[in-house]
């Protein structure tokens, strides 16, 4: 589904974070209730039914600003750098803090906040999960800047992928004493399940990347092949080889998503969970392969992609004739057509979208940490000893 949607947008379409938050909370609230006798699972199912019936968009609220990363949430000089509960009332809770880099937040109806990391004793106030309308009193959304954002306000070729080109509507979401009724609270102090929720969300979100980035890569590959056709280089052997490599890289990341899904298993709630190790492999490949796909696209497109004149120059009565004359490629293809595809490649392979591919769902180091945890190195050593006929001392 994610790959197919990417074919329609050519950019982030901002839904997957909310999907992953809902899936991870569905699984985890079921197990919290079993361990602590809490009513979270039913509350969450009621919320989920409402979201589905009203067709609302949900942003997953995972990442906190974190402040001094050498200190735990309860050790921070400013407690608000981690979202936390400041008051428990008979009818609900009051939260304060912020969520950073929230993809799709400016376009969403609700936010599902979750703890940003595994919490320890003393961090109970920070182990909170809840659903909050983004119009609630006390919420401020501060929109993040995008690459070439002023172009989106322009008409013509320079806007690039104008309809969908904003990477993900990211924002810093500030909570100033926001009240949340109990029926919308799905975790409140259960530090023993905070790590499980974080890991499940991360695994589900990393599973997704081979889908959406595989689809975005399909568009980049098609645009690059078209640019080669327009400039008369499509039949060159090195161009064909680079396009083949781009296809290989795109299918590799998609295969990782399919693999971690196929190797998943059913949780106690009945919902299915992808294989965590393979899901982390999916995202780790994205942090490398999407850059290589983009590098090859820019290689094939040529330096003209970065030095194209303004769209206004193309249409200028004074210099437009020169732009059309000297920037034309293959005979029969208008200069404007060539400029359109070059702007699309520029829009899809540079700036903020590359940073999102690196850091969305966690930077590469977070996946490497999971490799160490899930890679079962002691068992691999045991297998090697068995084959080498080495006995433990």
361-384 residue pLDDT tens? 788 888 888 888 899 999 999 999
Confidence band, pLDDT 50/70/90 cuts, at residue 152: confident
Flag whether pLDDT at 256 surpasses 80.
yes
Inside any domain, residue 324: yes
Inside any domain, residue 178: yes
Pair (73, 214) in one structural domain: no
Pair (368, 268) in one structural domain: yes
Flag whether pLDDT at 88 surpasses 70.
yes
CATH number of the domain within which 99 lies: 2.40.110.10
Flag whether pLDDT at 164 surpasses 80.
no
Confidence band, pLDDT 50/70/90 cuts, at residue 238: very high
Which are the contacts of 20, defined by CB distance < 8 A and separation ≥ 6?
60, 201, 204, 205, 208
CA atoms in the 13 A half-sphere facing the CB of 303: 0
Q: What is the tens place of the pLDDT at every residue in 173-183?
A: 999 999 999 99
The pLDDT value given to residue 362: 80
Pair (148, 267) in one structural domain: no
The pLDDT value given to residue 266: 97
Between 10 and 148, the higher pLDDT residue: 10
Q: Is 212 part of the annotated catalytic residue set?
A: yes
Pair (45, 155) in one structural domain: yes
Inside any domain, residue 4: no
Single out the residue of 160, 133, 135 nearest to residue 147, CA to CA: 160
Mean pLDDT of 330-356: 89
Domain count, the chain: 2
CA 32, 38, 41, 47: dihedral to nearest 10 degrees?
-130
Claim: this prediction has a pTM higher than 0.85: yes
Catalytic residue among 170, 273, 282, 284: 170
Q: Is 284 part of the annotated catalytic residue set?
A: no
The pLDDT value given to residue 15: 87
CATH number of the domain within which 246 lies: 1.20.140.10
Q: Is 248 part of the annotated catalytic residue set?
A: no
The pLDDT value given to residue 167: 59
Catalytic residue among 212, 256, 281, 353: 212
- CA atoms of 190 and 385, how far apart (whole Å): 41
Mean pLDDT of 189-202: 96
Pair (202, 184) in one structural domain: no
Catalytic residue among 29, 63, 103, 203: 103
Flag whether pLDDT at 168 surpasses 80.
no
Q: Is 209 part of the annotated catalytic residue set?
A: yes
Flag whether pLDDT at 165 surpasses 70.
no
Q: Is 163 part of the annotated catalytic residue set?
A: no
Instruction: Report the range of poorest mean pLDDT among 64-73, 163-172, 221-230, 235-244.
Output: 163-172
Residue 48 belongs to domain spanning: 13-190
Inside any domain, residue 210: yes
- CA atoms of 205 and 183, how far apart (whole Å): 26
Pair (49, 148) in one structural domain: yes
Please report, rounded to a whole number, the percentage of residues in the chain having pLDDT higher than 70: 99
The phi, psi pair for 154, rounded to 5°, reads -95, 165
Which are the contacts of 37, defined by CB distance < 8 A and separation ≥ 6?
none
Confidence band, pLDDT 50/70/90 cuts, at residue 360: confident
The pLDDT value given to residue 166: 60
Pair (277, 225) in one structural domain: yes
Q: Is 356 part of the annotated catalytic residue set?
A: yes
The pLDDT value given to residue 29: 98
Structure tokens at 42: 């039913």
Instruction: Report the range of poorest mean pLDDT among 86-95, 120-129, 147-156.
Output: 147-156
Inside any domain, residue 24: yes
- CA atoms of 138 and 190, how far apart (whole Å): 25
| Other beta carbons within 10 Å of 252 | 15
Which are the contacts of 28, defined by CB distance < 8 A and separation ≥ 6?
187, 193, 196, 197, 200
Catalytic residue among 209, 230, 273, 285: 209
Catalytic residue among 31, 124, 346, 356: 356
Inside any domain, residue 392: no
Q: Which of 155, 190, 225 is the last residue in one of the domains?
A: 190
Please report, rounded to a whole number, the percentage of residues in the chain having pLDDT higher than 90: 81
Pair (233, 167) in one structural domain: no
Structure tokens at 125: 């106030």
Q: Is 281 part of the annotated catalytic residue set?
A: no
- CA atoms of 381 and 367, how far apart (whole Å): 22
Q: Is 12 part of the annotated catalytic residue set?
A: yes
Mean predicted lDDT score pLDDT of the chain: 93
Pair (103, 248) in one structural domain: no
Q: What is the tens place of the pLDDT at every residue in 272-305?
A: 999 999 999 999 999 999 999 999 999 999 999 9
Q: Which of 148, 165, 190 is the last residue in one of the domains?
A: 190
Q: Which of 152, 170, 190 is the last residue in one of the domains?
A: 190
Pair (110, 208) in one structural domain: no
Pair (167, 205) in one structural domain: no
Mean pLDDT of 209-238: 96
Flag whether pLDDT at 163 surpasses 80.
no
Pair (28, 59) in one structural domain: yes
Flag whether pLDDT at 355 surpasses 90.
no
Inside any domain, residue 3: no
Inside any domain, residue 367: yes
Contact 256, 278 (CB under 8 A): yes
Between 104 and 146, the higher pLDDT residue: 104
């Amino acid at each position: 589904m994610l790959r197919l949607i990417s074919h329609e947008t050519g950019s982030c379409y901002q839904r997957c974070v909310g999907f992953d938050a809902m899936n991870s909370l569905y699984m985890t609230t079921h197990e919290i209730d079993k361990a602590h006798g809490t009513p979270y699972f039913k509350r969450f199912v009621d919320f989920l039914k409402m979201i589905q019936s009203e067709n609302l968009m949900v942003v997953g609220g995972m990442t906190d600003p974190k402040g001094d990363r050498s200190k735990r949430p309860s050790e921070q000089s400013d407690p608000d750098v981690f979202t936390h509960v400041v008051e428990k009332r008979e009818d609900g809770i009051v939260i304060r803090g912020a969520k950073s880099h929230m993809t799709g937040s400016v376009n969403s109806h609700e936010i599902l906040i979750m703890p940003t990391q595994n919490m320890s004793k003393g961090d109970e106030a920070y182990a909170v999960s809840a659903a909050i309308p983004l119009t609630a009193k006390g919420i401020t959304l501060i929109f993040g800047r995008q690459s070439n954002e002023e172009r989106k306000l322009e008409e013509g070729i320079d806007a690039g992928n104008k309809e969908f080109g904003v990477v993900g509507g990211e924002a810093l979401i500030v909570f100033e004493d926001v009240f949340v009724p109990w029926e919308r609270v799905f975790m409140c102090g259960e530090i023993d399940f905070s790590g499980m929720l974080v890991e499940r969300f991360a695994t589900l979100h990393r599973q997704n990347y081979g889908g959406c980035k595989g689809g975005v890569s399909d568009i980049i590959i098609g645009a690059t092949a078209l640019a080669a056709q327009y400039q008369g280089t499509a039949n060159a052997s090195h161009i064909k080889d680079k396009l083949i490599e781009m296809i290989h890289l795109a299918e590799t990341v998609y295969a990782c998503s399919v693999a971690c899904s196929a190797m998943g298993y059913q949780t106690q709630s009945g919902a299915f969970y992808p294989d965590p190790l393979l899901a982390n492999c999916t995202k780790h490949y994205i942090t490398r392969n999407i850059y290589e796909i983009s590098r090859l696209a820019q290689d094939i497109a040529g330096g003209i992609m970065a030095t194209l004149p303004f769209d206004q120059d193309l249409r200028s009565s004074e210099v437009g004739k020169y732009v059309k004359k000297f920037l034309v490629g293959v005979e029969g293809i208008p200069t404007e057509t060539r400029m359109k595809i070059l702007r699309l490649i520029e829009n899809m392979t540079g700036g903020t979208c590359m940073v999102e591919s690196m850091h969305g769902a966690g930077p590469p180091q977070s996946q490497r940490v999971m490799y160490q945890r899930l890679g079962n190195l002691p068992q691999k050593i045991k297998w090697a000893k068995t084959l080498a006929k080495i006995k433990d001392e």
